[in-house]
Amino acid sequence: MSLYNFLPAFRAYLPGEHKRILKINEELKDFILERVKEHQKVLDPNNPQDYIDYYLSKMQQEKDNPQSEFDLENLKMTGVDLFSAGTETTNSTIRYGLLLILKHPEVQAKIHEEIEHVIGHNRLHSIKDRQDMPYMDAVVHEVQRFIDLIPFNIPHAVNWDIHFQEYILPKDTTIFPELTPVWHDNKEFSKAVQFDPQHFLDKNGKFKKSDHFMPFSVGKQSCVGEGLARMELFLFLITILQNFTLKPVGDPNEISLKPNRVLFTKVPPHYYAFFLTKKNTKLIW
């Protein structure tokens, strides 16, 4: 699938699932464009209601600027980004996280212990609880590291000639940053090929940051939704684990973690699990 991303000109000639995905992508663009047209009819620049209104207002402000990047095409594409990057990646990470918790019951036991100690079951949790829950924070980080959801980051271009080690990268060179070697650096993560939340905990059990943690890329071109995504992952997983105990349908040791590939993204395999509550048992997949 990576070939389609590196050589987009070949997409029309190569068979595969990418054609259906590209068709869906075009339908999504049309859907967003229809919403934009609806907003344009009732737009009040003095009282914007949502992201589209703010963007359209900015377009009006810069309509006489030939260098402006605020146009309908970019509005349409940012809408696509919000749908794709803002939903599927978070969804896949949560499903992968639950699968890893099913395979590692000892991790789930420690999470439940921390939940009991910090939150209990008589109140709703909040993002403020994260600072008091180092183990859960470490689990969320380790899930993202271990699954390596997007091995190749989004492409970037060099703005001017760059000397890097023994190489020269000419201006406008397209670069695809590969993150997998960073995730599997044994000098930073002692058990890099294993799922182990201890990678993000110090000897005192406190959360430990790592410069090698970069699921959202790094620098000025890092994902603008990083803060929101990190908050969602923590809160969604806490919500589930505060209310349920997860049990695998079969032997945890037989759970497969082998991912499926969807274009340049890894997604978890389909699986079944028991979500146990005090009142009843539900089978969810």
DSSP character string of 215-237: TT--STTS-TTHHHHHHHHHHHH
Res 110: pLDDT: 97
Nearest alpha-carbon partner for 230 in 141, 109, 156, 114? 141
Strand, helix or coil for residue 265: strand
Structure tokens at 256: 């497969």
**Is the pTM value of this prediction over 0.85?**
no
What are the mean pLDDT values of the chain's consecutive 10-residue runs (285 residues total)? Answer: 57 66 82 92 90 92 89 87 76 94 97 94 87 96 91 80 90 84 88 94 94 76 72 92 93 90 76 80 47
Q: Which CATH number fits domain 105-284: 3.30.565.10, 3.30.720.110, 1.20.1070.10, 1.10.630.10?
A: 1.10.630.10
Q: State how far the Cα of 165 lies from the Cα of 144, in Å rounded to an integer.
A: 29
- Residue boundaries of the structural domains of the chain: 105-284
Q: What integer pLDDT is reported at residue 130 of this predicted model?
A: 93
pLDDT for the residue 59: 92
Query: Residue 80, annotated ligand binder?
Result: no
